[in-house]
Chains A and B, each alone.
Chain A
């Protein structure tokens, strides 16, 4: 017997069999591809966001020091800088000024940050992409900002930040240190937090520990901790979406279960005929195997392709609100495609393998019956 020829002939027959049941198989592929699409979209998006956050945080300071008062974040005296700089291993340390600003016209919260090297001088701002997108047209190139006392400061919009880092800079407003203190009544000599760079990455945890010893009312936050938090948040949100999709997943499992537990009377009869015509049990199982592979592989590839287009070209319009932060200003940016063989294999083994097995099991049962049943049908 020519084994390759047998495989080819049975595969040919399987494909023409599938085409005979176009409607049924198209519905199956549609449901299947939709489930793969949902799962892959979540996985693609989660991975890309993590990757994005990591690349953005790569330039972030190794340690941020916040002051706590009664367990809450408080302004930190700039005098702490001198103590921190004395810790061996600390390369640079400086104070930052940043906060949130509620814009009643757009109903959005912006992140406002003072820049020591702000190039445009006072009464000027540089905006993140998201802020500029949300400004009502009547405002033009001037941004009125409500100060702590209810009066307004009219700031000239000088520049918009590039969209490369939009995930973290979308809602950002940059200004001079003086304007920042004036807007929020922040006294001289204090900052929002301190940022430190450490020469040797392996000394970061030691430096952090020393900070808590020298300045007991502060809390050092390392970059690694921020990254872990990002990872946890994206994973948690991804999990939330998967939970929301559980309806679709359940429908798919029921469909697969239905396949696993029974064949239609027509399929059963056909298996009987094939056995009666001299097909072995293994021939029938091979046919059903190819059938499962054809349906599931096609659906898998279709689902992955749709998810790729959805995430990387369609800005993940379906899950964007759930996965990209809590701000009113959702970032609008193209994610860099991140597809790892591991991730594709996991999706493959979660979808194609169970379905193929689910297709083979009932056929095996039907194919092991005596071929003479066809004589009595």
Chain B
């Protein structure tokens, strides 16, 4: 897995319009591979925007992004999608599972466009659901799942294409302390399996956790200071 380097990242929304808004300014940071990094900061500090840029979901207005030796800042959408699909797995704040589909089908979705035989995808999805102890819920519709179960399905979905990096936006926002610790345990387990984990959170349970290698504190779209925990 390669290191991710951000250099002078700036992101402006609605540029040139009266409602122009600068979400990120002068972000320079390094994300180490096979470690857990936390973007820490209050609501509106720019964590989610930075996660989007890190995960190739959005392009910065200016600045450069390197994935290992390769600069990926201005790649066309097709290539960015390809990188996103193979390198990053996302866990969204609201989980964003597709309603009225089963947990198993939800986990399989990111793998469909790769064209693998469906049976192979299904086997891998079942394996992941079992790994996160929700195998027995595979055929349940996602709206019947509890918050913790839904999150584990979302994690399984993020890992279906075996990405090197897992990106999680406020993963504990809707969980109680017990389930939040459970999530951190899963993150630790993934890190042990060689994955890079990037989390945006303002939950002390997350950024104060032992296993977090690096915390990037943010406020008003800037990095306040950078230090290891």
Binding site for B on A (CB under 8 A): 1-10, 12-13, 16-17, 20, 266, 269-270, 273-274, 276-281, 283, 370-372, 374-377
Indicate the size class of the contact surface on chain B. Answer: 35 or more
Quote the shortest CB–CB distance from A271 to chain B (angstroms): 11
Is B85's CB under 8 angstroms from A278's CB?
Answer: yes
Residues 99-124 (chain B) with a chain A CB within 8 angstroms: 99-101, 105, 109-118, 121
What residues of chain B lie closer than 8 Å to A374, measured between beta carbons?
A: 57, 92, 96
Is A273's CB under 8 angstroms from B116's CB?
Answer: no
A172–B113 CA distance with the chains assembled, in angstroms: 68
A276–B161 CA distance with the chains assembled, in angstroms: 14
Is A274's CB under 8 angstroms from B109's CB?
Answer: yes
What residues of chain B lie closer than 8 Å to A8, measured between beta carbons?
A: 115, 118
A16-B101, A273-B96 known; A372 and B113 CB under 8 Å? no
Among the stretches B76-84, B128-136, B176-184, B186-194, the one at the interface with A is B76-84
- Chain B interface helix/strand/loop/mixed: helix
Mask: chain B, 44-88; 1 = CB below 8 Å from A; 0 = not? 000011011000011000000000000000000110010011000
Cβ-closest 7 pairs across A and B = A5-B115, A2-B115, A278-B85, A372-B52, A6-B115, A9-B112, A372-B57
- Chain A interface helix/strand/loop/mixed: helix
What residues of chain B lie closer than 8 Å to A16, measured between beta carbons?
A: 101, 105
12 cross-chain CB contacts under 8 A: A2-B114, A2-B116, A3-B115, A4-B115, A9-B113, A9-B121, A16-B105, A278-B84, A280-B78, A281-B77, A375-B52, A375-B57
A189–B90 CA distance with the chains assembled, in angstroms: 100
Is A13's CB under 8 angstroms from B81's CB?
Answer: no
Q: Which of A6, A269, A274, A376 contacts B114 (CB 8 A)?
A: A6
Quote the shortest CB–CB distance from B177 to chain A (angstroms): 25
Q: Which of B85, B94, B109, B116 contacts A13 (CB 8 A)?
A: B109
A216–B189 CA distance with the chains assembled, in angstroms: 107
What residues of chain A lie closer than 8 Å to B157, measured between beta carbons?
A: 277
Quote the shortest CB–CB distance from B83 to chain A (angstroms): 9
Binding site for A on B (CB under 8 A): 48-49, 51-52, 57-58, 77-78, 81, 84-85, 90, 92-94, 96, 98-101, 105, 109-118, 121, 157, 161, 169
Q: Which of B51, B58, B113, B114 is the most central at the interface, judged by chain A CB atoms within 10 Å of its CB?
A: B113
Is A370's CB under 8 angstroms from B161's CB?
Answer: no
* Nearest neighbor of A22 in chain B, beta-carbon distance: B100
Q: Which of B48, B78, B118 contacts A376 (CB 8 A)?
A: B48
What residues of chain A lie closer than 8 Å to B94, measured between beta carbons?
A: 377
A3–B99 CA distance with the chains assembled, in angstroms: 27
Is B117's CB under 8 angstroms from A5's CB?
Answer: yes
Is A5's CB under 8 angstroms from B51's CB?
Answer: no
A20-B101, A370-B57, A376-B48 known; A276 and B92 CB under 8 Å? yes
A238–B116 CA distance with the chains assembled, in angstroms: 51
* Nearest neighbor of B48 in chain A, beta-carbon distance: A375
A16–B117 CA distance with the chains assembled, in angstroms: 17
Is B113's CB under 8 angstroms from A375's CB?
Answer: no
What residues of chain A lie closer than 8 Å to B77, measured between beta carbons?
A: 280-281
A2-B115, A375-B48 known; A20 and B110 CB under 8 Å? no
Is B118's CB under 8 angstroms from A9's CB?
Answer: yes
What residues of chain B lie closer than 8 Å to A280, measured between beta carbons?
A: 77-78, 81, 113
A78–B14 CA distance with the chains assembled, in angstroms: 94
A280–B98 CA distance with the chains assembled, in angstroms: 17
Q: Which of A1, A4, A270, A276 contacts B90 (CB 8 A)?
A: A276
Quote the shortest CB–CB distance from A10 to chain B (angstroms): 6
* Nearest neighbor of A371 in chain B, beta-carbon distance: B57
A307–B165 CA distance with the chains assembled, in angstroms: 57
Q: Which of B57, B93, B109, B115 contacts A1 (CB 8 A)?
A: B115
* Nearest neighbor of B163 in chain A, beta-carbon distance: A278
What residues of chain A lie closer than 8 Å to B110, measured between beta carbons?
A: 277-279
Is B116's CB under 8 angstroms from A278's CB?
Answer: no
* Nearest neighbor of A376 in chain B, beta-carbon distance: B48
What residues of chain B lie closer than 8 Å to A375, measured between beta carbons?
A: 48, 51-52, 57, 92-93, 169
* Nearest neighbor of B161 in chain A, beta-carbon distance: A278
Quote the shortest CB–CB distance from A273 to chain B (angstroms): 5
